[in-house]
């Protein structure tokens, strides 16, 4: 039974992630991404980490992908057209990316050696011990990641902001809000 559920959702996750990469319409690709993330959440639950699964749905499918869709709708991104000339470049880019990925992974494995793998234990992913580890042993990395995200958000806002214009310009944020 458990195996059946795993196979079903693993297949769905793989299939939908292929659609994410291959579909020409960005809206369909994003909707498939929702399905992929949801299936991965189910796999987390099957692994005995329901907390991670729920957070995956809450943060990724419930908030971040909604923002993707929001931006796609606002910009009205059309279907991607295939150009004869661009095709070769795309394949070259994909191959190059894959080569760099395997090079980096190979380098990391060669430098560190294959670390000994331990199976996930129930108390490692249980809610209480996970949060205790996060706020004691891994506090510094946790805070650094938070700071990094904050910097990225502020940076994106600064980059996207319109340059200030002369004259008594109305507050841009409010004007944009009223247009919606």
Partner 1 sequence: MEIAPSPVLIDVAVKLAVMLGFVLTVVPVMVWVERRGSALIQDRPGPNRLGPFGLIQPLADALKFMFKEDVTPSAADKPLYLMAPVLALIPAFTTIVVIPFGPTIEAFGRTIPLVIAPAETGVLLFLSLASLGVYSLILAGYGSNNKFSLLGSIRASAQMISYELALTLSVLAVVIPVSSFYLPDVVAYQQEHVWNFIPQFIGFVVFLIASFAETNRLPFDLPEAESELVAGFHTEYSAMRFASFFMGEYASMTALSCLGVTLYFGGWSLPFVHLEGWLGAIVGLLVLVAKVGICMAVFVWVRWTFPRFRYDQLMRLGWKVLLPLAILNLLGVAAMTLAGWI
Contact footprint for partner 1 (CB under 8 A): 1-2, 27, 31, 34, 45-46, 48, 50-51, 54-55, 57-58, 61-63, 66-67, 69-70, 73-74, 127, 174, 177-178, 180
For the bound state, the minimum distance from the C-beta of residue 155 to partner 1, rounded and expressed in Å, comes to: 20
**Nearer Cβ to partner 1, position 112 or 136?**
136
CA atoms lying within 13 Å on the CB side of residue 12: 18
**Nearer Cβ to partner 1, position 89 or 127?**
127
Residue 28: count of CB within 10 angstroms of its CB:
14
DSSP 71: H
Q: Residue 22: helix, strand or coil by DSSP?
A: helix
For the bound state, the minimum distance from the C-beta of residue 84 to partner 1, rounded and expressed in Å, comes to: 27
**Nearer Cβ to partner 1, position 77 or 107?**
77
């Amino acid at each position: 039974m458990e195996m059946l559920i795993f196979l079903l959702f693993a297949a769905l996750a793989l299939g939908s992630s292929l659609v994410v990469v291959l579909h020409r319409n960005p809206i369909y690709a994003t909707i498939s991404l929702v399905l992929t993330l949801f299936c991965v959440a189910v796999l987390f639950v099957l692994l005995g980490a329901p907390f991670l699964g729920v957070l995956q749905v809450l943060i990724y499918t419930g908030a971040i992908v909604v923002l993707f869709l929001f931006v796609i709708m606002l910009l009205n991104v059309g279907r991607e057209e295939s150009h004869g000339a661009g095709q070769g470049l795309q394949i070259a880019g994909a191959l190059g990316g894959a080569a760099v990925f395997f090079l980096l992974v190979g380098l990391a494995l060669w430098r560190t050696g294959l670390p000994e793998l331990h199976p996930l234990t129930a108390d490692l992913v249980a809610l209480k011990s996970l949060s205790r580890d996060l706020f004691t042993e891994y506090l510094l990395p946790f805070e650094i990641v938070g700071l990094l995200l904050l910097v990225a958000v502020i940076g994106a806002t600064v980059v996207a902001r319109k340059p200030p214009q002369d004259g008594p310009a109305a507050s841009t944020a409010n004007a944009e809000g009223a247009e919606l």
